[in-house]
Structure 1
Amino acid sequence: MERQGGPRWSGSAPTPEELAPAPVTLAQLLQLVQQGRQLPGLERRHIAATRGEPTASRLPRRPKPWEAAGSADAPAPPP
């Protein structure tokens, strides 16, 4: 039975789109990285630190397993 939406393994030859070479070879990619140049097709994000003060947590701290085992509300661990 063949699943819908999955790859088809009919044994036929791959289409030219599937055989299309990668836009950049591994050697070219290594060279670009070593030279410090931008990589093609890579989205550049501009993320900067806020330099602000950290805020206190608003959620209560969850008890650790050994802390919860000692409380009367917690179920006893299985033997």
Structure 2
Amino acid sequence: MDSPGTASWSGRAAAPAETEPASPTLAQLLQLVQQGRALPGLEKRQIAATHGEPTASRLPRRPKPWEAAGPAKAPPPP
């Protein structure tokens, strides 16, 4: 056992404030957006247009309800 006055890790959980930075409030996020600054925790994606030819669809087109095979039948009278 531990002697009195020594720190023990058993039974003690790390406080959330010690392990993770505090998340910004909505007001702080709004201020960052208005200033044009980067938002914390967001990943910056490098997306660029390819300006290439579009690829043809490989799936067959689904028929419209009115194009479905077979004549439309009226429900039988009650």
CA change 1:59–1:47 in 2 (3 A) is: same
What TM-score, normalized by structure 2, do the two folds share? 0.58
What TM-score, normalized by structure 1, do the two folds share? 0.57
Q: Deviation per CA, 1:19-53, whole angstroms, max 9, x where unpaired?
A: x9942121111010001100011111111111101
Within a 5 Å distance, the mapping from 1:1-79 to structure 2 comes to 17=16, 22-68=22-68, 71-72=69-70, 79=75
CA change 1:31–1:77 in 2 (3 A) is: farther
- Displaced runs of 4 or more, over 6 A: none
Structure 2 residue runs of 5 or longer lacking an equivalent are: 1-14
1:24 alignment partner, SS class: coil
Q: What count of residue pairs does the alignment treat as equivalent?
A: 58
Equivalent residue letter for 1:43: E
RMSD of the TM alignment (CA)?
A: 2.7
Structure 1 residue runs of 5 or longer lacking an equivalent are: 1-15
Identity between Structure 1 and Structure 2 (%): 76
Equivalent residue letter for 2:35: Q
Structure number with bigger Rg? 2
